[in-house]
Amino acid sequence: MSRYERVEIALGERAYPILIGPGLLNDATTLSDCIAARDLLIVTNEVVAPLYLATLEAALKGRRVHSLILPDGEQHKTLASLATIVDALVDARLNRDAAVVALGGGVIGDMAGFAAACYQRGIDYIQVPTTLLAQVDSSVGGKTAVNHPLAKNMIGAFHQPRCVLADTRTLASLPDREYSAGLAEVVKYGLIRDAAFFGWLEDRAEALLARDDAAVATAVRRSCEIKAEVVGIDEREQGLRAILNLGHTFGHAIETASGYGNWLHGEAVAAGMVVAADMSERLGWLQAPERARAVQLLKRMRLPVEPPKIGASRARELMGMDKKVLGGKLRLVLMRQLGEADVVSDYDAGVLDATLRAHFD
Amino acid sequence: MSRYERVEIALGERAYPILIGPGLLNDATTLSDCIAARDLLIVTNEVVAPLYLATLEAALKGRRVHSLILPDGEQHKTLASLATIVDALVDARLNRDAAVVALGGGVIGDMAGFAAACYQRGIDYIQVPTTLLAQVDSSVGGKTAVNHPLAKNMIGAFHQPRCVLADTRTLASLPDREYSAGLAEVVKYGLIRDAAFFGWLEDRAEALLARDDAAVATAVRRSCEIKAEVVGIDEREQGLRAILNLGHTFGHAIETASGYGNWLHGEAVAAGMVVAADMSERLGWLQAPERARAVQLLKRMRLPVEPPKIGASRARELMGMDKKVLGGKLRLVLMRQLGEADVVSDYDAGVLDATLRAHFD
């Protein structure tokens, strides 16, 4: 087990470990130790299945393993796909002691996790994230959901996995664009909570882009630790946890306006973080050189740093439907300084307007 | 407030009150005190809406109240109806501080509660149960769900309401058959946990059938208290709580085989309790006169006391898909004596077979 980085997510009776490292999927002993259930449904997609499904099934031999291969893409993160997963659970006659294994990226994790949350009002699930975004984002927090045609993640549940098994070698098969989208979230953790980690990312940017084993494992571990720290303080997203959404409110507007799947989530978040950083600077909180460092690092990670020109009023409208609206007042995640984000609703509304016009018009 | 019976459901930070009594729906002051949210979606059905929707809306004037009227019937307790409720929430642009109000019977309560559990990963909901079954069963326990074509309540969540407002006068509009179906669950509470209450029901059977205000309010209160006591010990249905399912495993087989909606839930439970009582007697636990009293009281409540002849093997198959199967072994709720139920899996399988043959063949 010592071959892997390990993060313990402390949530009382729902505590669980995250194991991170190269080759984990081929390590039948560790997988078997981490997965208790005898009856399993592996939920994956048509891109991931040819790469890793047989390996995972082989590691779980001796169990009753069923599998379900869904189409790939955020556009399939729907109630209809949830119904398909539930159908597979019922068809396999799986009971409350069965578990769902999510093998894939964030979309698979969100849907399979939500199916596990709902099926018979909640069964176990295990995450085997195969994208960088899923390894650093979906692994911690217990958020599961599907999309509504008008808004992302509108239908879901908080449901913690039993364990997360993040094989960093699976990232080798990611397209560059998807890998960079994952790096957007890694950069986010530095921006919101850890200036030193942000500096480390600046130093190790080339190694990360080259998918160096050690650099990747460290980045994933530190990202999970930061998210765990924030979630541990605020599991049900009442306050602090919202800082994890830096760039996401603007980003959701970008994703929704463009149609799900045209902008990758991480790409929209990257552009959204630039908008948030600019607004933070306009409010006099973030210094210009700090904003420039954020933009520069995102660019080096090969990420877009400007939203599409969907119009400020359309952006505002799409942000208004976001879950972060409380009592009609739009809360925003902004930056006090590099390494410190805050959730604010007492900002000058004119500054928001000016920011939206500058980036979306 | 003293005009109403009141049961406090103690669940820590998710504690909530149940108010029970005649005329509650017309009591704008009490309703307004109990419902905190400013933005509400009332979910009801086409049978209940003409009777009570305007009254409830009038009591809530000053709030932003939306309403959604669904078709009536268990056959509509589906993921498709869940999607319809979520669409209504999104269309009304309701946020996390909004609440869903379930106005109707158990089907409406289960669906609206599940929609509230899922929408934005969980918003508040308030139950206004208008059937006896919903007042004594759905008011306590936090179970929400929709059905799968192959099994009831397969997709759901545990989600506690903020409060339950049970106007016993609404029971006046119930068809006799549905009212009796509710009495099946009332009898159940006596059978599983309170022989004295069972005796009181024998004494007050005629008053209950006549829907006498005081008798009904007492029966609802005592039923809620017993359920709360059991759920309080075992909120997540790990053990004791399963005794609330007396008659339900056999009953689910009846409902599923007959197609949802042909047997009322309470009717299936009544016949299922008779099967459970017979098996308990065959095992030497329940005495013959006790079983006879149970059958007799159910008959007086105008309930069916024999299942349809769907065949023992079909019944067994349908029971096998039930959520109460754990590790492949079928757990059953049986009766140690009048007023005491138990969850058992170490029964003689031959006795189950003989019981199923006696009642289903």
**B186-196 confidence digits (pLDDT tens):** 999 999 999 99
Tell me whether B148 touches chain A (CB under 8 Å): yes
Residues 213-242 of A with CB under 8 A from B: 237
pLDDT (mean) for A227-232: 90
Supply the pLDDT for residue A209. Answer: 96
Contact (CB<8Å) B321/A158 = no
Are residues B82 and A83, on separate chains, in Cβ contact within 8 Å? Answer: no
- With tokens 């130790």, the residue in question is A33
Find the angle CA(B97)-CA(B99)-CA(B101) to the nearest 5 degrees. 175
Tokens read off for A290 = 């700090």
Is A36 within 8 Å of chain B by CB? no
Is B167 within 8 Å of B130 (Cβ atoms)? yes
pLDDT digits (tens, 9 = 90+) for B15-69: 899 999 999 999 999 998 899 899 999 999 999 999 999 999 999 988 999 999 9
Predicted pLDDT at A323: 53
Share of chain A above pLDDT 90, in %: 80
At A1, is the pLDDT very low, low, confident or very high (cuts 50, 70, 90)? very low
**Comparison of pLDDT for A218 and B240, the residue scoring more:** A218
DSSP for B180-229, written as a single string:
HHHHHHHHHHHHHH-HHHHHHHHHTHHHHHTT-HHHHHHHHHHHHHHHHH
B53 part of contact set with chain A, CB < 8 Å: no
- Mutation target among A95, A123, A322 for the B interface, most CBs of B within 10 A: A95
Which chain B residues have a beta carbon less than 8 Å from that of A122? 157-158
List the catalytic residues of B. 121, 143, 185, 227, 237, 241, 245, 248, 252, 265
> Is B351 an interface residue toward A (CB < 8 Å)?
no
Helix extents (H) in A234-311: 248-258, 265-282, 288-300
Phi, psi values for residue B257, rounded to 5°: -65, -35
A359 is catalytic: no
- Known catalytic membership, residue A95: no
Q: Please provide the DSSP assignment of B56-107 as one string.
A: HHHHTBTBEEEEEEEPPSGGG-SHHHHHHHHHHHHHTT--TT-EEEEEESHH
Q: Please give the C-alpha separations between residue A161 and each of A75, A220, A350, in angstroms, as whole numbers.
A: 24, 17, 42
Residue B47's pLDDT is what? 95
- B239: helix, strand or coil: coil
Q: Please indicate whether residue A121 is annotated as part of the active site.
A: yes
A–B interface: beta-carbon pairs under 8 A:
87
Mean of pLDDT values over B95-124: 96
Which pairs with CB-CB distance under 8 Å and at least 24 residues apart come from A201-204? A201/A297, A202/A293, A202/A297
A157, B158: Cβ pair inside 8 Å? Answer: no
Neighbour tally for B256: CB within 10 Å: 24
Residues, chain B, total? Answer: 361
Domains of chain B: 5-173 (3.40.50.1970), 176-360 (1.20.1090.10)
Q: Which pair of tokens denotes residue A182?
A: 């994952």
With beta carbons less than 8 A apart as the criterion, state whether B285 and B344 touch. no
- Of the residues B100, B119, B120, the best mutation for testing chain A's interface (the one with the most A CB atoms within 10 Å of its CB) is B120
- Facing B151 at nearest CB: one of A90, A122, A156: A90
Do residues A82 and A156 lie in contact, with contact meaning Cβ atoms separated by under 8 Å? no
Burial B219-253 (b: 16+ CB within 10 A, else e): bbbbbbbbbbebbeeebebeebbbbbbbbbbbbbb
What pLDDT, on the 0 to 100 scale, is given for residue A261? 64
Whether B234 shows a pLDDT value over 90: the answer reads: no
pLDDT bucket at A178, cuts 50 / 70 / 90: very high
A82 contacts B119? CB cut-off 8 A: no
Q: Tell whether the model's pLDDT for residue A260 goes beyond 80.
A: no
Q: Is B250 helix (H, G, I), strand (E, B) or coil?
A: helix
In terms of pLDDT, which residue wins out, B233 or A286?
A286
Round to whole Å and give the CA distance between A302 and A297: 9
* Neighboring chain A residues of B154 at a CB cutoff of 8 Å: 86, 90, 119-120
| Cβ-Cβ contacts under 8 Å, B145 against chain A | 121
pLDDT at B1: 42
For B316, residues 6+ apart whose C-beta sits below 8 A from its C-beta are B253, B356
Residues 6+ apart with CB under 8 A from A238: none
Residue numbers of A between 307 and 336 with CB closer than 8 Å to B: 320-321, 323, 325-328
**Does residue A322 register a pLDDT over 90?**
no
Single-letter code of the amino acid located at A237: E
Residue B163 — φ and ψ, nearest 5°? -165, 160
What pLDDT sits at residue B228?
92
Rounded to 5 degrees, what are φ and ψ at B45? -130, 175
Q: Is A237 a catalytic residue?
A: yes
Q: B237 pLDDT exceeds 80?
A: no
> What is the pairing mode between strands A16-21 and A5-9?
antiparallel
DSSP A147-206: EETTEEEEEEEE---SEEEEEGGGGGGS-HHHHHHHHHHHHHHHHHH-HHHHHHHHHHHH
Give B-chain residues touching A343 at CB under 8 angstroms. Answer: none
Which residues in chain A touch residue B85, judged by CB atoms under 8 angstroms apart?
Answer: none
User: Which residues in chain A have Cβ-Cβ distances shorter than 8 Å to B153?
Assistant: 121
In the predicted model, what is the mean pLDDT of chain A?
A: 92
pLDDT in tens, A9-45: 987 778 899 999 999 999 999 998 899 899 999 999 9
Cα–Cα distances (Å) from B41 to A347, B9, B30, B73, in that order, read 31, 24, 19, 20
Q: Considering only CB atoms, which chain A residues are within 8 Å of B117?
A: 157
CB contact under 8 A, A155 and B119: yes
**Shortest Cα distance, chain A CAs vs residue B158, angstroms:** 7
Q: Does A82 touch chain B (CB under 8 A)?
A: yes
Say if A176 is an interface residue toward chain B (CB within 8 Å).
no
Q: Is B124 helix (H, G, I), strand (E, B) or coil?
A: strand
Mean pLDDT of all residues in A252-277:
89
The span from the CA of A250 to the CA of B243, in Å, is: 50
Nearest residue on chain A to B98, judged by CA atoms? Answer: A327
Q: For residue B158, what is the nearest residue in chain A, using CA coordinates?
A: A121
Tell me which residue in B120, B122, B156 faces A118 most closely, judged by beta carbons: B156
Q: Is B129 on the interface with A (CB under 8 A)?
A: no
Best of B121, B249, B330 to disrupt the A interface (most A CBs within 10 Å) is: B121
Q: Is A324 a catalytic residue?
A: no
Closest CB to A154 among B86, B150, B323: B86
pLDDT of residue A326 exceeding 60:
no
Q: Write the pLDDT tens digit of every residue in B125-181.
A: 999 999 999 999 888 889 999 999 988 899 999 999 999 999 999 999 899 999 999
Do the strands A99-104 and A124-129 form a parallel or antiparallel pair, or are they unpaired?
Answer: parallel
DSSP state of B339: T
Chain A residue numbers touching B120 (CB-CB < 8 A): 154, 156, 323
Among candidates B95, B122, B326 on the partner chain, residue whose Cβ is nearest the Cβ of A97: B326
Is A188 annotated as catalytic?
no
Chain A hits for B237, CB-CB cut-off 8 Å, are 121
Predicted confidence band of residue B12 (pLDDT cuts 50, 70, 90): confident
The angle that helices B312-320 and B248-258 make with each other, rounded to 10 degrees, is 110
Phi-psi category of B4—alpha, beta or left, where left has phi over 0 and alpha has psi -120 to 50? beta
SS3 state at A122: coil
Determine the pLDDT at residue B329: 63
In which element (H, E) is residue A351 found? helix A349-360
